[in-house]
Amino acid sequence: MKKSKMAQLFSLYAENPSLTNEEGARAVDVSSDALRTMKHRLIAAGYLKPESDGSVSVLKEFRARPANTTSVFKAAIYEEMVEAYMEDFRQQATFADRLSVGREIRLILEKM
């Protein structure tokens, strides 16, 4: 599984606490401004502690935030519903039936 940029940055600081912002930005492939923001977020979340000499100390192991499983689950249900309705849509013989099934599909797609 691919690491997030934040996880990559944390790993770099864990391996090399005296990493400069420019080196980190090149390694993670972000701008210096973005790197400073990411570093500040790691410090604010309690993962890193800045030292007086410019280096950082790792306070705790980085854990990426879990994906919102509820929204992923809901999206999967909506996709399955659309697939089922699409099969029904194709099997309808009259225009009125297709129109009513099409409306249901449209309502589901609006919620996705």
* Domain ranges for the chain: 5-58, 70-110
Residue 13 has a pLDDT of 92
The helix/strand/coil state of 50 is strand
pLDDT digits (tens, 9 = 90+) for 29-86: 999 888 899 999 899 889 999 998 888 888 888 877 665 667 777 888 888 888 889 9
| C-alpha closest to that of 38 among 61, 48, 15, 18 | 48
Q: What does the pLDDT read at residue 23?
A: 92
Distance CA 68, CA 28 (A): 25
Asked if residue 64 lies in contact with residue 4, where contact means CB atoms within 8 angstroms, the answer is yes
Token reading at 18:
């005296």
Average pLDDT over residues 94-102: 92
pLDDT band at 15 (very low <50, low <70, confident <90, very high): very high
Q: What mean pLDDT do residues 1-27 have?
A: 87
pTM of the model: 0.55
CATH topology of domain 5-58: Arc Repressor Mutant, subunit A (1.10.10)
Given its phi and psi angles, is residue 23 left (phi above 0), alpha (psi -120 to 50 degrees) or beta?
A: alpha
Could you tell me which of 101, 97, 68 has the C-alpha nearest to residue 83? 101
> What was the pLDDT predicted at 99?
93
